[in-house]
A and B are shown apart, each in its own frame.
Chain A
Amino acid sequence: MTATTTVAAPAAPDEAAAPRAVGVRRRWTEHGLLFIAPFLLVYALFLIWPLASGVGMSLSSDNISGAGGEFIGFDNYAEALRDPNVWSSMWNTVWFTILSTVPLVLTGMVLALLAHHLRVVQWLWRLSWFAPFLLPSGVVGLLFLWVIFPSDFGFADQLLASFGLHPGIGWLTDERYAMLSIVLATVWWTVGFNFLLYLAALQSIPQHLYEAAELDGAGARQRLLRITLPMLRRTTGVVVVLQVLASLKIFDQVYIMTGGGPDASTRPILQYVYQAGFTGYRIGYASAVSYIFFALIVIVSLVQLRLSRRNGEESK
């Protein structure tokens, strides 16, 4: 899929040329194949083949030593569906996605609106809101683990203390706060990407719309509600899809900051897959759990594709 779009995109400089581009794409040529061969090879080697062999493993009692992998049918799947750990970590993943997506989309939009309208030192806003996104997850995890969230002497507690509060909150060690703390760190870390998408969208709204609206006597509030926000709808669709998928795949920051604890209260499904496979040595079972999760992601993507299509048609 990716291959065809990247190849076709340059061939479609404007709307009128699009049908012709489709015609070109359908004609099968050796040259084209030659060009995409390296990609196809990598794609087959690192995606298709592992996907297929993963299905095979999930139907076996395969373990980390590679021996004794007998075919056991759907036993692993049956066990996974009965396993409370699968459900609790699945719920943690979904809960994290719900908790993080809303603020990430809204904050991204608000920050973009601010940066778009603040004409003074605009580069500074852009830089400061996007910069955290450039940090690797390890850096972010350790930063929050050792600097921001330690109880009593951490930055978060100190900040509250400067307002006369003495919280002593176990940000990452208390079951009540751990997930929220991870959400907080994730929002700070990744909001820059959504911000950038929104900023680009804002900058592509034609100026003449605003000028016309202004001539018709629309105030700033009306221009925001009647022009800006509707024009951002498609971007919001994209941002939500990307954000939900990214949030569902959460692993690194949890692994570093809480290790899934306390008592598995922040353990996402991917970490459970990791534990089942590498601590528990059960590769077959871990594969089955990961395919159940894969099914969830496919369903979510399909639903969103459906919704965004409908959105797209409405906005046309």
Chain B
Amino acid sequence: MNQPSLDRRKALAGLGGLAAAGAVGFGAAGCAAPASATAGKTGLRYWHLFGGGDGVNMAALVDAFRKEHPDIDTEATQLQWGTPYYTKLAMAGAGGRAPDVAVLHLARLAGFGPGRLLDPFDLDRLADAGITPDRFPSDVWQRGAVDGKQYAIPLDTHPMVLYYNTEVCKKAGLLDGSGKLRSITGAAEFTDALRAAKKATGAPALTAETLGPDCITPWRLFATFYSQTGGTVLTEDGKGLALDDAKALKVLDYMATLTSEGLMVRRTDYPGAIGVFNGGKTAFHLNGEWEVSTFTNSKLPFSMTRVPALFGRPTAQADCHSFVLPHRKDRTGSASDEAAHTFVAWMLKHSVDWARGGHVPAYLPTLSDPDYLALQPQSAYRDVIDDVALDQPAWFAGSASPMWIELGAVFSGVLTGSRTPGGALREAKNRLRKLLDTRNPLGNGGAT
């Protein structure tokens, strides 16, 4: 009997130790940010959701910022992309103990309780650092404002783009003299190009994610093509349904033909679609520009360009990473708030390094920076920034939002053949109506 009691005591001691270590760790990790800052330094806590290549780029930028600002004790935390990130950010803001600065997808701003979960930027302070509204595309800048106050400062735009395999396209005769993809206008021309590429390799010419858990690309494809027809999904204010049946059906019919004719891989999830394009036999891949590092690293002979204008205007579905100031009870006039403004201004001015990950910088001076222009193929599609189609401002819209996930699943059925275009349109409208009928759970912001 002695032995077990000894063990128990040991175990208890161990547990006590663990608890103590846990408490210390907890303090260091979050609750006591100002205290953890070394004497004489201003603590700055920054939350973001960048993984993969973006995560590496962001870490390098934060390191560079630290070196240039030894008086600011910067602590960057990378959280998991998507729902987990937004859940955590909302809860932190609600408790008034949020980080000093954070990243938010611009199209999610409407649903993120500006005024309650987010604090506005001090534009004078940013202007002192050279960040003024005229240095951003006005549409994108405007999306960051609610009730005349600027809640989000855009860092970049990440639109859907067209990746193409230069070798396959050359074989199919789709390149011009300088080795770039010849311009494609209209759905018929794009179909012809796909047919030519398929003939050249015997493999489907196009790949994109068509199914899988939280599958979003089918929505992105739809949103891109549908925006080209000039239609919008919701009304300008994001409060009503504006889906135009005829235009939407035209787009959905086209999406259905792509797979039914065997021009596009019918059933593949996100990693699968990338794997197929990486295989080297597929001419085209439709996806966000952020996969550029994947294909660069795999040494695939590829380039990328804007999504061709298949249905009229050359627009592409997009969202923007932006900086926000999550609500803090002690924000006003604090040193860390000043540091947050410094941080945001510095990041924007150094967004050339950020652009390596494929994103188009929102800070316009960067677009003419020689260092940026030298980035290939990243700078090849920079003019898309004038033609980006963001979701209308609704609480359920934006990256990883309920709308994207619900409609992604519906339009996935069109590509895989389990839904007819007409059936998918009806279902999409049903789901949108349900979202529109649901009260914004985070409130409309502003007032409170």
Contacts and interface: CB of A to CB of B under 8 A. Distances in A.
Contacts of B396: 280
Interface in B33-70: none
Contacts of A151: 267, 272
B443 A260 contact: no
Given A65-B442, A264-B409, A281 B90 contact: yes
Given A61-B441, A262-B213, 10 more contacts: A63-B441, A66-B91, A66-B94, A66-B95, A67-B94, A68-B443, A173-B211, A173-B269, A280-B438, A282-B441
Interface in A140-174: 151, 170, 173-174
Closest 10 CB pairs of A and B: A259-B213, A65-B94, A63-B441, A281-B441, A263-B409, A261-B213, A282-B441, A66-B94, A278-B87, A279-B83
Interface in B101-159: 113, 116-117
A296 interface: no
Contact of A64 (B91, B211, B401, B412): B91
Given A173-B212, A263-B410, A64 B267 contact: no
Nearest to A150: B272
Interface in A260-277: 260-264, 275
A151 B265 CA distance: 14
A117 to B, nearest CB: 37
Interface of B: 83, 87, 90-91, 93-95, 113, 116-117, 211-215, 267, 269, 272, 396, 400-402, 405, 409-410, 412-413, 416, 418, 438-439, 441-443, 448
A175 interface: yes
Contacts of A261: 211-215, 409
Interface string A54-83: 000000010111111000000000000000
Say what secondary structure dominates the interface of chain B: loop
B402 A258 contact: no
18 contacts: A63-B442, A64-B441, A64-B442, A65-B117, A65-B443, A66-B95, A67-B116, A67-B443, A151-B267, A170-B267, A173-B212, A259-B213, A261-B214, A262-B211, A263-B410, A279-B83, A279-B401, A281-B442
Nearest to B427: A263
B75 to A, nearest CB: 24
Contacts of A264: 409
Contacts of A170: 211, 267
Interface of A: 61, 63-68, 151, 170, 173-175, 258-264, 275, 278-283
A151 B272 CA distance: 10
A246 B23 CA distance: 34
A39 B66 CA distance: 49
Contacts of B272: 151
The interface residues of chain A, by DSSP majority, are classed as loop
A64 B93 CA distance: 10
B91 A61 contact: no
A258 B90 CA distance: 26
A259 B95 CA distance: 30
A61 B439 contact: yes
A291 to B, nearest CB: 18
Nearest to A175: B418
Contacts, number: 82
Contacts of A65: 90-91, 93-94, 113, 116-117, 442-443
Contacts of B409: 261-264
Contacts of B438: 280, 282
Contacts of A61: 439, 441
A49 B41 CA distance: 43
A258 B213 CA distance: 5
Contacts of B93: 65
A146 to B, nearest CB: 10
A173 B267 CA distance: 8
B296 to A, nearest CB: 25
A67 B441 contact: no
B87 A64 contact: yes
A259 B412 contact: no
A283 B90 CA distance: 13
Given A173-B211, A282-B441, A262 B412 contact: yes
A114 B401 CA distance: 51
Contacts of A67: 94, 116, 443, 448
A282 B90 CA distance: 12
Nearest to B215: A261
Of B113, B211, B215, B443, most buried by chain A (CB within 10 Å of CB) is B211
A126 B211 CA distance: 40
Nearest to A256: B213
Contacts of B113: 65
Contacts of A175: 418
A258 B87 CA distance: 21
Contact of A279 (B116, B269, B405, B442): B405
A275 B83 CA distance: 9
Nearest to A174: B267
Contacts of A64: 87, 90-91, 94, 441-442
B386 to A, nearest CB: 32
Contacts of A283: 441
A68 B90 CA distance: 14
A90 B93 CA distance: 33
Nearest to A61: B439
Name which of A63, A66, A261, A263 has the most chain B CB atoms within 10 A of its CB: A263
A63 B83 CA distance: 15
A280 B111 CA distance: 10
A283 B438 CA distance: 13
B185 to A, nearest CB: 34
Nearest to B113: A65
Contacts of B439: 61
Point out which of B213, B267, B272, B401 has the most chain A C-beta atoms below 10 A from its C-beta. B213
A259 B213 CA distance: 5
A182 to B, nearest CB: 12
B211 A259 contact: no
Nearest to A257: B213
Nearest to B413: A263
Contacts of B94: 64-67
Nearest to A83: B434
A275 B438 CA distance: 14
A128 B212 CA distance: 32
